[in-house]
Amino acid sequence: MPDANTAFVKFSDVQKTYDGEMLVVKNLNLDIARGEFLTMLGPSGSGKTTTLMMLAGFEVPTQGAILLEGRSINNMPPHRRNIGMVFQSYALFPHMTVEENLAFPLKVRKLGRAEIEAKIKRTLDLVRLGAHGRRRPGQLSGGQQQRVALARALVFDPKLVLMDEPLGALDKQLREHMQLEIKHIHEDLGVTVVYVTHDQSEALTMSDRIAVFNDGAIQQIAAPAELYERPQNAFVAQFIGENNRLHGRVVAMNGATCKVEIAGAGNVQALAVNVETVGRPTMLSLRPERVQLNPAPGSLPNVFSARVAEVIYLGDHVRARVSVCKHDDFVIKLPNSEGVVQLEPGAAITIGWKTEDCRALDGA
């Protein structure tokens, strides 16, 4: 984790308001390490894009400081920050060729002709568009245009590259391909990337760390596996991946675990992650793939009778919606590793899960 001495980018008590009353970003403290791929993830209106725009210089913090390599950039204009930007809209000059689009930021920096040509060739080869330099953006596919936009952000060797929903206009297959391509380019160059998206699968695929935003604040920041496996509150558990929620009341605490009563359905043993005291409401978080079908008697602490409501065959796994613990939208995912899983709507089944797979969080 970056600290005050190693942070390449640092947000210190940053706030932003547009009307003087409602804070769009609230007391943001965030350190980003040199060479890190950090994704700001959250729903619309959560503050992630405003945070990126403040870092880019297109918005000014109402309060607090933003530091780049230890120097405040609060009042530094965007063109002096040496930051590359990639937008969802590509923002390419349609009347210029690909090479001319890449040459533009280099000419602004008054580089010589030979150096400009060398940088353009190197960067087009990096994004695998070496044969397309003489074409105009309108002659390229969406994926190729996005590669040009990425190349233009990289061609002048920026200290930092900011990406604002850059793959949002692409279809699913191309978007997934570009995710891996951007990730590999980051690994090859070692450039620092700050990426904004509302797509949690995109964030999980690409990031070193993910900062989950909601209501103008970071709810949790961690590596992808940490966020998915160990969410610290109900919002993160629900926003990252698919999640079963069971609402109940804490009836006993025992060190790292607790017992939660589900009204009219019995008790559940869970990890006590974000619970206050006995008697308080809590939300249990359980990933669908952690649920076991027909567990051996005595093998699990949490075992319940359920009824199958719906079954969807998805090739590599079967997704079933069941009624259990007074909840009708409980989902289980069963791997299809040894042939088709046989489940029928209306069937009575037994399901169970481990204590450590069930997390007792705030009562949201």
CATH code of the domain in which 86 resides: 3.40.50.300
E strands, the chain, are 7-17, 23-33, 37-41, 63-68, 71-72, 83-87, 160-164, 192-197, 209-214, 217-222, 244-254, 257-262, 266-272, 281-286, 292-293, 302-313, 317-324, 327-335, 348-353, 358-361
Residues 139 and 179 both lie in one domain: yes
Beta-carbon count within 10 A of 231 CB = 26
Answer yes or no: pTM beyond 0.95: no
Q: What does pLDDT average to in each consecutive run of 10 residues of the chain (364 residues)? A: 71 96 96 97 95 96 96 92 88 92 92 94 92 92 90 93 89 89 92 95 95 97 96 94 94 94 93 90 95 92 96 90 93 82 89 96 80
Residues 130 and 162 both lie in one domain: yes
Q: Which of 203, 234, 265 is the last residue of a domain?
A: 234
pLDDT (0 to 100) of residue 172: 87
Residues 122 and 153 both lie in one domain: yes
pLDDT (0 to 100) of residue 142: 86
Q: How far is CA 176 from CA 123, 142, 165, 189, 243, in A?
A: 22, 14, 13, 20, 23
Question: Is 1 within a domain?
Answer: no
The overall longest dimension of the chain from CA atoms, in Å, is 77
Beta-carbon count within 10 A of 279 CB = 8
Closest by alpha carbon to 146, among 111, 105, 181?
181
pLDDT (0 to 100) of residue 67: 96
pLDDT (0 to 100) of residue 4: 46
Residues 141 and 173 both lie in one domain: yes
pLDDT (0 to 100) of residue 171: 86
Q: Which of 174, 205, 234 is the last residue of a domain?
A: 234
Residues 102 and 22 both lie in one domain: yes
Residues 94 and 215 both lie in one domain: yes
* Mean pLDDT value across the chain: 92
Residues 156 and 270 both lie in one domain: no
Task: Provide the number of structural domains found in the chain.
Answer: 2
pLDDT (0 to 100) of residue 348: 95
pLDDT (0 to 100) of residue 5: 55
Residues 115 and 137 both lie in one domain: yes
Question: Is 70 within a domain?
Answer: yes
pLDDT (0 to 100) of residue 339: 65
Provide the residue range defining the domain that includes 173: 7-234
Residues 177 and 311 both lie in one domain: no
pLDDT (0 to 100) of residue 153: 94
